[in-house]
Every structure is written in C-alpha cells, then in structure tokens.
Amino acid sequence: MKLPSRPQDKIIVALDVPDTDGAMRLLDALGTPTLCKIGLELFTAQGPSVVKAVQSRGSSVFLDLKFHDIPNTVAHAVRSAADLGVTMTTLHASGGPVMLEAAAKAAAASGNNDLLLLAVTVLTSMDAAQLSSTGIGVDPKAQVLRLAGLTSAAGIGGIVCSPLEVTAIRDSLGNDLRIVTPGVRPTWASAGDQKRVMTPAEAVKAGSDWLVIGRPITAAENPKEAYAKVVTELSYP
C-alpha cells in the first residue's frame, strides 16, 4: 500500500456507529474520505455488506477486527478480509510469531496486493497500571517496542500503536514499518477513554503514517467542519 501524499490521505475516519445508515450519513456529511475504519461494532451489526457500501461511496476500508486466534483460523480470516477488497486489516501482535507469520503468508497469497496487515501492539486505552494487571510488568513503550520487533520479523507490513511510541519505533526499526496511530486528538477535542494521546500534527511529526480519528470528527456538531480543521492542521503544522 502506498504511503499517503496529501494531508487528507493521512486521516482514517473511524465509522464508530451502530449501523450502515449511520455510516452513510457520516459519509454524506464528509464527502469522500480517503480511508474509513470499520470496527467491531459496525461489522458485527452489519457484516460484509457495510464494507461494500462504504467502498461504493469511493472510500477505501480499514477493517479493524483485531484477529487473535490460532494461526490457521487467523490465516483464513485474513484471506476473507482480502477477498472483501479492504486495504488494511488488523490482528494482535500478542498472538505470537507463528500466528503472525501465518497471517503474512495468507495475505501474500490472497491476490489483494493493496492489503496492508497491521499488528496491534498495546491498546491506547492501556496505561502501565492496566498492563501490569494483565501480568505484563513493563511500561507500555517497552512492550510496544518488543511487539513491533516481533511484527517486523514475522513479515507483517505495519503496526498500530499510540503516537507516544512512534519516535522510539522509528529509532529502533527505521522507516520500513508502516505505522497507524489511534489516540490522536486535536487540542479542541476531549481525549475520552484513550490515555496515550497526541495532536494530529504532533503524531505526523513523530513519524505516524496514518491517523485514526473518530469522535473529534464524527461526534462533532458539524463533522465536515471538524474534518476540514484536522486537514488544515496537517497542512500547516
């Protein structure tokens, strides 16, 4: 998948709505975003049909289902995502090297040359205390770096991490690994339940390739105006 060239191409609009009608209303309000994220809520409610509906409006789809299962099951899920024509899909890096390698092989054999696999490292809702409660006694940055290295070695093309870890990943692994960052909040928006955040301009300056932005745009009184404000921020950081 090609790196984004225009500011608006860096934005992945999160369609965190309950149904296809809600997603279509957002697309009507925004025009045609380059990339839209379909996550667990919307896909569980509407299934593959909502992917096709978004694609029919001219937007590419980031299918964010975070696969985490035995290697064979994840490989088949990746093939199914590839068959839907999505340009990005996610799996958990914590599934381990065998699972990651199986996913990478499935994507390579799928025939969908635009598909970028992204391994989720540490969720942006997790801080050190939350991570420790799961038995992982290191800070989030150390765990993200460990999982990013595992991802790269397995042949997965990119990762999902908070913007706070991006600089360290670039310093450690260089620029070949694609990085998608949620936890991006303009100064005029609430951080919500995400704990490790940056502004859009800060995240791109740190080295993020794509930014997942949901509620600051989709829950705004005027989504089109909010979307335009983020594009402007990325155009003139």
pLDDT (tens digit per residue) in 91-108: 999 999 999 999 999 999
Instruction: Give the pLDDT score at 193.
Output: 52
Instruction: Give the pLDDT score at 198.
Output: 86
Instruction: Give the pLDDT score at 184.
Output: 85
Residue 194 has pLDDT above 80, yes or no: no
Nearest CA to 214 out of 7, 35, 32 is that of 35
Residues 6+ apart with CB under 8 A from 131: 122, 138, 139, 140, 143
pLDDT (tens digit per residue) in 105-135: 999 999 999 999 999 999 988 889 999 999 9
**Mind listing the domains of the chain with CATH numbers?**
7-235 (3.20.20.70)
CB neighbour class for 72 (10 Å; exposed up to 12, middle 13-18, buried from 19): exposed
Percent of the chain scoring above 70 in pLDDT: 96
Give me the catalytic one of 10, 66, 195, 229. 66
Sign of the C-alpha dihedral, residues 237, 59, 22, 67? negative
Active site residue 66: yes
The residue that leads in pLDDT, 192 or 10, is 10
Is the separation of the CB atoms in 226 and 51 below 8 Å? no
Instruction: Give the pLDDT score at 202.
Output: 92
pTM: 0.93
Cα pseudo-dihedral 85, 215, 30, 233, rounded to 10: -100
Is the separation of the CB atoms in 192 and 215 below 8 Å? yes
